[in-house]
Amino acid sequence: MNIGEAIKNIDNVLNDMDNIVVGAIMENEAEIIDLNISQLSQGLGASGNKLPEYESDEYFFAKKAEGLTENAGRHYNILLDGGVREGMNISKTGGGLAEIDSTDDKTFRLETLTDVDIFGIAPKNRNELLTLIAPEIKRKVLNRIIK
């Protein structure tokens, strides 16, 4: 490969970097969803803010007795709803973006109830996200430059 071809390949990579990153995210979907689930189990929303506390003492203590509030403390445990957890997915949204969501019917109600964005990776976990996707990004970039 001559220098002109290498420069052309690098330009192509730079022009397609959004798709390369989204592709790496999609290839690590299960691990990224696990990361989101982990932070929800700690009572954290996507911005790193705490989920609101249960308003009903009776409901909270009933869930606590079942051992379902251990990690989240008194904060909402979104993961009690298996449908939301099982329906979690990552989809391409266009413009080089991807988002975590859930296909479960109760998703909108839970987001409205908590008034917190529950899907997404909190700032304190972004290094872990980068650790997940960086090797795939590197592989894709190098393959396209030296093709």
Residue range 46-77, pLDDT digits in tens: 998 887 776 667 766 776 676 655 555 555 66
14 three-class SS: helix
Q: Is the pLDDT higher at 44 or at 74?
A: 44
Q: What is the mean pLDDT of the chain?
A: 83
The whole-number average pLDDT for the span 4-32 is 92
- H-helix or E-strand spanning residue 26: helix 17-27
CA 33 vs CA 84, 92, 99: distances in Å: 12, 14, 10
Nearest 5°: CA angle at 114, between 96 and 111?
40
Q: What is the pLDDT of residue 138?
A: 96
CA 131 to chain centre: 13
pTM above 0.85, yes or no: no
The candidate with the shortest Cα–Cα distance to 75, out of 44, 105, 37, 98, is: 44
> Is pLDDT of 33 > 80?
yes
Other CB atoms within a 10 A radius of the CB of residue 53 amount to 12
Amino acid present at 24: A
What is the mean pLDDT of the segment spanning 99-127? Answer: 84
Q: Where are the domains of the chain?
A: 3-145
SS3 label, residue 84: helix
